[in-house]
């Protein structure tokens, strides 16, 4: 039986350059406000991060992926 990993931004293998995502920036962590955009760079090198993989969007905002569109 194959168990599929949820695509919620915690696994690096689900995120690619150009993918549409929602992130939470450092300044918005307390409120949880999400920012929508397209991945420019993947900044986290590890295959998994419990709070979300850190990326830079095309508009150069940096945050952790909360949702993959």
Express each pLDDT in 13-63 by its tens digit.
999 999 999 999 999 999 999 999 999 999 999 999 999 999 999 999 999
Express each pLDDT in 27-39 by its tens digit.
999 999 999 999 9
In whole angstroms, what is the distance from residue 28 CA to residue 69 CA? Answer: 20
| Main-chain phi, psi angles of 3, to 5 degrees | -100, 120
- Dihedral (Cα; 27, 29, 11, 15), 10-degree rounding: -40
Q: Which two tokens stand for residue 6?
A: 């949820």
Name the DSSP class of 48: B
In whole angstroms, what is the distance from residue 62 CA to residue 42 CA? Answer: 10
């Amino acid at each position: 039986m194959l168990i599929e990993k949820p695509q919620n931004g915690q696994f690096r293998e689900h995120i690619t350059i150009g993918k549409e995502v929602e992130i939470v920036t450092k300044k918005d962590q307390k409120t949880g406000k999400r920012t929508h955009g397209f991945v420019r760079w993947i900044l986290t090198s590890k295959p998994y991060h419990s709070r979300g993989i850190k990326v830079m969007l095309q508009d150069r905002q940096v945050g952790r992926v909360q949702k993959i569109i």
